[in-house]
Amino acid sequence: MDAIDLKPGMIIDVDGVFYTVMSATHTHAQQRRAVMRIKCKDLKSGKTNEFVWRSDRPVNVVYVEEVPMTYLFRDNTGFHFMNSTTYEQVTLSEDIIGEKQYYLLENIEVTGLVHDGEVLDIKPPIFVELKVIETEPGFKGDTVQAAKKPAKLETGLVIQVPLFINTGDTIRIDTRTNEYVTRV
């Protein structure tokens, strides 16, 4: 596959290191060859990296199998998941999970990305329902066009929510954008 065909979410192999593509932008300077600016995240270390390649450069795309998994618990060794089809348990480090840890509740179903029997990454569900454990009270008449306030959720995530959300409410958030969707 050529670099110009890369899309966010694809997994590529660069010198033996697996990266997930976060963004791929095609740029063309005046009287110069077109290039692709690819922002990637290393699946092992979680560090981001940026590559600038010619748009016709061949790229090794890694094809992964999507396996349903259940999140069990977290301890000092990492995050424990169970393969929902084979019932095998897998432990993933915090480096692999990264920011996705804020969407993990016990017994939640996620999708594991597996290559050659090794879990490379997980994909949480698109929408997750979490309980608000801490937020400032909203006062009546305190509304200005779509006013928002910070709220801390049960997993430690802090997001902006509308003023009518109170401590103890359960809300649905979008894991792709990290934004409030609705109150449940």
How does pLDDT run across 39-74, given as a tens digit for each residue? 998 887 778 899 999 888 899 998 889 999 999 999
Strand order in the sheet with 11-14: 48-54, 35-42, 17-27, 11-14, 60-62
Q: Could you say which of 62, 78, 113 is where a domain stops?
A: 62
Q: Is the pLDDT at 2 greater than 80, yes or no?
A: yes
Q: Which residues pair with 104 in a beta bridge?
A: none
> Residue 149 sits in a domain of what CATH number?
2.40.50.140
Residue span of the structural domain in which 57 resides: 3-62
Residues 151 and 171 in one domain: yes
Residues 57 and 75 in one domain: no
Residues 11 and 42 in one domain: yes
* Number of compact structural domains in the chain: 3
How does pLDDT run across 91-134, given as a tens digit for each residue? 998 878 888 899 999 999 999 989 888 888 888 999 999 999 99
Residues 118 and 79 in one domain: yes
Residues 33 and 75 in one domain: no
Residue 72, sorted as left (phi over 0), alpha (psi -120 to 50) or beta, turns out to be: alpha
**What are the distances in angstroms from CA 119 to CA 80, 106, 113?**
12, 19, 6
Residues 142 and 179 in one domain: yes
> Residue 9 sits in a domain of what CATH number?
2.30.30.30
Burial-class residue 113 by CB neighbours within 10 Å (0-12, 13-18, 19+): buried
Residues 153 and 177 in one domain: yes
